[in-house]
Amino acid sequence: MRKLSCVLISVALILIPISPCAGSGAIAGDASEPLDQYVSGMSIEEKVGQLFMTTVIGTELSAVQAQLINKNHAGGIVLYSYNFQNTEQTVRLTDMLQRNAGNIPLLIATDQEGGRVTRLPMGTNMPGNMALGASRSLENASRAGAVIGRELKALGINVNLAPVLDVHQNSSSSAIGIRSFGAGPQLVADMGQAYLKGLREAGVIATVKHFPGHGDTALDSHAGSPVIPYDLNRLRNVELRPFQQAFNSGAGILMTAHVAYPAIDDTSSYSSKENRYLYIPATLSFKVLTGLARNEMGFKGVILTDALHMKAVINYTGSQEEAAVMAIKAGADMLMVHTGLEKASQRVIDAVEKGEISVFRIDQSVKRILELKLNNGIIKISGGGIARGDAFSLGIEERISRAGAIVGGQESRAAERSAAEKAVTLLKNENILPFKPEAGSSIVFFAPSKESLAVMESAIESAVKEKGLNNVRVRGFAYKLLGGLTDQHKIALGGADFVIHGTCSYNEEERSPQGWRAAFSNDLISRADALHTPLAVMAIGDPYDIAFIPGAKAYLAVYGTAGGPNVAAGVNTIFGLNNPTGKLPVPIPGSDGTGLLYPEGHGLSLFSAAP
């Protein structure tokens, strides 16, 4: 009962201005006064707490979790898919998080990038960054940021961990792939700038990531220790260009990459976990975070680490607690820890008390975090203390009502569909498209997974209906892990008038000519050719699948996932309901990752004008 009492008391504290007193973390004075005098009144525990962004489990805030946040003075919370159920639940969750935050309201963040990485089951996902890059439309990118931003703000989420500014230079990258706007540094910079503009106009703080770049690594830093070996001249011209443009426009948060850049910092340390020497990851490097981002490139905002439990960091430091200390020394302002908040926080406090980290260094980060919150209406200075900012001016029931009208609304869905259709890229068409079914036609389709089966079926049926056709038979099969056609497939193909083959891969291994995807696809294409049945291939994920199915006579890329608007946009294109205008935002190499099948900028149309 004592724990619950602490939680309820914290609710009362947050609702009124806090009078200045020793150790309270109170702000004295008004917004025109320097933040340092406010920070000087905070205890070391309160200061260190502001440096941590952590997680909560589930769709409701338990008393135990509320006390953990309050006791440790957490500066931020990051929410994941498991935290979201519906609109009302999410508004109530973010409200309870803020009411139990202690003296200073929280940064509440999520990864709603769009496309492949989205967290909201009820939100408007938009087609994703590479799809936006394919459209070459700054207006689409800005609208994507605005649509996503409005929905997040309505739900009580004030930080989007987006956009991704990694330049996609490696076709085998599974970590980034279609999360990137493309392979051209200026394309990524311009599209990212437009996306940032949309988020800013919606009143949500943007996070540019993953600095100084994660776009040319085959290895995911969740699973290992990636290295980008290029010299500084290449890095400045490619990886760093989008970040510099974002810094110049006043980006609020920078998220670090757990990637080593020996051309910037060649510090190395022996890893007992890896049994070898490893270069220092950017997240832990003073030369990268302070020397490059702060001093050379002029970043003024908050530096947030990617999650500190990831292998690229733990392999180097041995523990999350040591990673926290090293990251602060390097220049990070906020540390993302999913679990182990108390241990990591205490390790940093101990480091300060022992003189390992100076109070001055902690104060620098606290000031940046409070300034970010102040500038975005999360806090305000009132009555001699910190109070909840203008972002909390509406009551909970009114916020729920507003969110219900905004999240997943018709206007947002229309923008999503339009952006997805403008992204569709037709790479190859040997007089196969558009399909022109008639009443009584049979359409057979193959989906790469059970998840995409229902999405493709719905999209095909909608397209047939829009064309005003009756009695069209639609039959689909999921072929995951199958190395070739089954007897059932062959029978269905024998009666098909049109065939749609959905493919989906996200890395080079999945596109191996020896893998099941290639085996099934080539068997299907050969069978359709023998039957003289028109077949169109739709690459649902990465656009590179054509490398392992060179026999395809019609091939289009939609840059999406099993869900989202991309599949429907691709299907509409196959049936001539959308004239594709997308251009490849990346080059397509051969099946071995070398050579060039299609250059960046390639893209065909079905019609000279929109149908």
Residues carrying an active site annotation: 222, 306
Q: How far apart, in whole angstroms, are the C-alpha atoms of residue 530 and residue 378?
A: 64
Three-state secondary structure readout of 385-415? EEEECHHHCCCHHHHHHHHHHHCCCHHHHHH
CB 113 within 8 A of CB 179: yes
Q: How far apart, in whole angstroms, are the C-alpha atoms of residue 143 and residue 148?
A: 8
Structural element, H or E, at residue 429: strand 425-429
Closest C-alpha among 91, 70, 95, 94 to residue 10: 70
Closest C-alpha among 204, 119, 225, 113 to residue 166: 113
CB 424 within 8 A of CB 570: yes
CB 299 within 8 A of CB 254: yes
Residue tagged 């001249």 (tokens):
233
What would the DSSP string read from start to end of 548-598? G-TT-SEEEE----SSSSHHHHHHHHHTTSS------SS-B--TTS-S-SB
Residue 215 in tokens? 């776009």
Q: How far apart, in whole angstroms, are the C-alpha atoms of residue 266 and residue 35?
A: 36
Rounded to the nearest angstrom, the gap between the alpha carbon of residue 606 and the centroid of all alpha carbons in its chain is 32
Q: What are the residues whose beta carbons fall under 8 Å from the beta carbon of 36, sequence distance 6 or more?
A: 363, 367
Residue 208 in tokens? 């540019």
168 — phi, psi (to 5°)? -80, 95
Q: How far apart, in whole angstroms, are the C-alpha atoms of residue 324 and residue 342?
A: 12
Q: What are the residues whose beta carbons fall under 8 Å from the beta carbon of 62, sequence distance 6 or more?
A: none
Residue 572 in tokens? 């509409």
Q: How far apart, in whole angstroms, are the C-alpha atoms of residue 428 and residue 16?
A: 64
Q: How far apart, in whole angstroms, are the C-alpha atoms of residue 229 and residue 126?
A: 34
Q: How far apart, in whole angstroms, are the C-alpha atoms of residue 569 and residue 524?
A: 23
Residue tagged 């020793």 (tokens):
22
For the chain, the helix, strand and coil percentages under 3-state DSSP, each to the nearest 5? 40, 15, 45
